[in-house]
Amino acid sequence: MEFSMAYEDTSDRVPVLLIHGYPLSNILWDLQMGDLSDIARLVAPDLRGHGQTDPTDPPYSMGLFADDCANLLDQLGLTGPVVVGGLSMGGYIAFEFARKYPEKVAGLILAATRAGADSAEVKEARDQAAGVAIAEGTTVIAEGMLPKLLAPGSYENQPDLVDFVREMMLETSEDGIVGALAAMRDRPDSTPDLTALQVPVLVVHGEEDQLIPLAEAVAMAAALPMSRLVAIPNAGHLPNLEQPEAFNDAVREFLEIFYDE
C-alpha cells in the first residue's frame, strides 16, 4: 500500500537520520532540529501511522520501518552513509537499519534504547496494550505512558513538557500504535550484533529512565567496539526533551568526529 511519509529536513551538512520512538512523532526532535542544524543535515521522519504520516494496515515490523527510512533517504538523494539516530523504538529501528543497510550507516546515536529483545512478559504486555488501544482508544495509552516517559522531576515540575508529550502521543493513529506494538514485540535480539558494529556509536541515556534501566545502556556501550556513553542527570526516557542542552552537547561533540575524518 502506498502512503505519504512526512518528514523534516535541514541544511547540507553531515546527514543525520533521527528516528522517533513509540508512540511519538518527529516533533520529538524539535529542540535538536533548531540547535544542531549548523553542524548536521537533520532528517526526521514521522513513521507510518505516527504524526503526519499516513497509517497502513498493521502489523508493522522493524524491517518495514527501516525500509521506509531507507526509501526516504533515497528520495532525498542521500545515497551515501549517514549517521542514524534513534530514541527508544527508534533505536530498535536503527539496529535493523544497520543490519539491512550497513553501507548506509556512518555512525549510530542510540538514545534511551536497548539491544535486547522483549521477554515473554513484555510481549504479553504489548498485546494487552494493543487490545486496550482498539477497545478504549489511544488516549488511554497516552495517559498511561506519560508518567513513565519522564523523570519524576520532569513530570512534576515541567507541565508544558508534559502537555507537549501528551499532544504528540495523541496524534498517533490506532493503526500506528497497534502496528508499532507488534513490531516491538517481534523484533530480534540485537545483542549478538553489537560487537560487529564497526562504526562510531553514541549511547545517550537518562539516569532516571523508568522504562529502560541505565545499566542496560552501560552494558550495551561496553559491548560496542567504538562507543561513547553519556548518562544525563535529571532525565528519564526522553532526555533530548528533558535536558536538551546536555543532550545536544553530547550529539554535537559526537558529530564533530565526522568532520575530522
Counting runs of H as helices and runs of E as strands, what totals does the chain give? 12, 7
Model pTM score:
0.96
Q: Containing domain of residue 195, as a range? A: 7-260
Residue with cell 533521527: 18
Could you tell me the CA-to-CA distances from 184 to 22, 123, 127, 171, 180 in Å, in that order?
9, 8, 10, 19, 6
For residue 239, tell me if it sits in a domain. Answer: yes
Whether residue 131 lies inside any domain: the answer is yes
> Can you give the pLDDT at residue 3?
73
Please write the tens of the pLDDT for every residue from 108-138: 999 999 999 999 999 999 999 999 999 999 9
Whether 155 is in a domain gets the answer yes
Residue 127, domain member (yes or no): yes
CATH code of the domain covering residue 55: 3.40.50.1820
Closest C-alpha among 116, 105, 62, 118 to residue 201: 105
Q: What angle do CA 58, 53, 84 make, to 5 degrees?
A: 90
The answer as to whether 2 is a domain residue is no
Q: What is the pLDDT of residue 106?
A: 98
The pLDDT score that the predictor gives to residue 55 is 96
Q: Which amino acid is at 2?
A: E
Which stretches in the chain have pLDDT values below 70?
1-2, 11-12, 261
CA dihedral 150, 156, 158, 164 (to 10 degrees): 60
Helix (H) or strand (E) holding 107: strand 105-111
Q: Is residue 245 domain-resident?
A: yes
Q: How confident is the model at residue 209, as a pLDDT?
A: 98
Q: What's the number of domains the chain is made of?
A: 1
Q: What is the pLDDT of residue 261?
A: 58
* pLDDT for the residue numbered 4: 80
pLDDT at 228: 98
Domain assignment present for 87: yes
- To which H or E segment does residue 49 belong? none
Q: State the pLDDT at residue 7.
A: 85
In the structure grid, which three cell numbers stand for residue 174, read together? 490506532
Would residue 199 count as lying in a domain? yes
H helix or E strand, kind and range, residue 207: none
Cβ neighbors of 67 (< 8 A, separation 6 or more) are 100
Task: Give the length of the chain.
Answer: 261
Cα–Cα distances in Å, from 116 out to 88, 149, 208, 217? 12, 19, 19, 11
To which residue does cell 522517533 refer? 20
